[in-house]
Structure 1
């Protein structure tokens, strides 16, 4: 082994074996968003939930033949905490947006406000701006719901 030049990241162990370090490259995200876009979306979800006291959630994927029933079924999986949840379900392949509100959330986010937010989201989606549409819709719904009445 003496006189042999080792590649960068390689070392000869005490037993004489050559150990080589290799660079680990995590797999790239396979979803529709970059890491930066996901961070923006997470921040928008956090702010909307913190400001209103409601929990906002986004589902992106297939909703089935009856998109409303599919979205309501997703909302039902939230159990008792679903009363304060606003679920925004988007199926780009089916070109459908559904908003499902729990009983408490429904009192604070009127249907009209949700519809206006959906119209804004759809306009952005048509321009190919999925992340911008979601963030804009979240902000509009948060504004409609208003501040958390239980906040100090």
Structure 2
């Protein structure tokens, strides 16, 4: 996967994805504090073991979801080449995975599709927080551990 490559849910054969209507929280706070804390912990561990930067976006991606996801990745500045972005728009029924060029060496198209499947499965059950955690865990697992960190 090259910088800016996007794996939309339709590419994974998920055109008929029909999650429950939005997360259980309010519009301003779709995830509970405990869900946010768990997601933060999972992202921190993923970054620690893989050496990549993980970022998650939950919300509307606009009419061009791929371009929006790429723009979000680019907004990470100097971290963008080593970043993996998981963007989920439940209202649009879209999941995008975008990687920077260095991260793309370790996160394959297959890994991105696997993460999309995991996210969609959890979203179908109405668990948006769990979907984000699952997506990050799958992407980190597929990226693998940096060799110098494998003895931890």
**RMSD in angstroms over aligned alpha carbons?**
1.7
**Residue 149 (structure 1) aligned with residue 147 (structure 2):** yes
Using the size of structure 2 for normalisation, the TM-score is 0.77
- Of the three residues 89, 92, 110, the one matched with 2:90 is 92
SS at match of 1:47: helix
Q: Which residue of 2 aligns with 1:107?
A: 105
Q: Per chain length, whose mean CA-contact separation is higher, i.e. which structure has more relative contact order (CA < 8 Å, sep 6+)?
A: 2
Which sections of structure 1, spanning at least 5 residues, go unmatched?
1-27
CA distance in 2, matches of 1:29, 1:66: 22
Extract structure 1 runs of 4+ deviating beyond 4 A: none
Q: Relative to 1, partners in 2 of residues 1:29 and 1:94: Cα closer, same or farther, differing over 3 Å?
A: closer
Unaligned 5+ residue runs, structure 2? 1-25
**Distance in 2 (alpha carbons) for counterparts of 1:40 and 1:121:** 16
Query: CA contact under 8 A between 1:83 and 1:104: conserved in structure 2?
Result: yes
Residue 125 of structure 1 is matched in structure 2 by 123
Give the alignment's TM-score, normalised by structure 1: 0.77
For residues 63 and 53 of structure 2, the distance between their equivalents in structure 1, rounded to whole angstroms, comes to 27
Secondary structure of the residue aligned to 1:133 is helix
Cα distance in 2, alignment partners of residues 150 and 106 from structure 1: 19
Number of aligned residue pairs:
125
Counterpart residue number, 1:57 = 55
Q: Which residue is equivalent to 1:31?
A: 29
Separation in 1, partners of 2:81, 2:147: 15
Q: Deviations over 1:87-123 (max 9, x none)?
A: 1111111111101100000001111011111111101
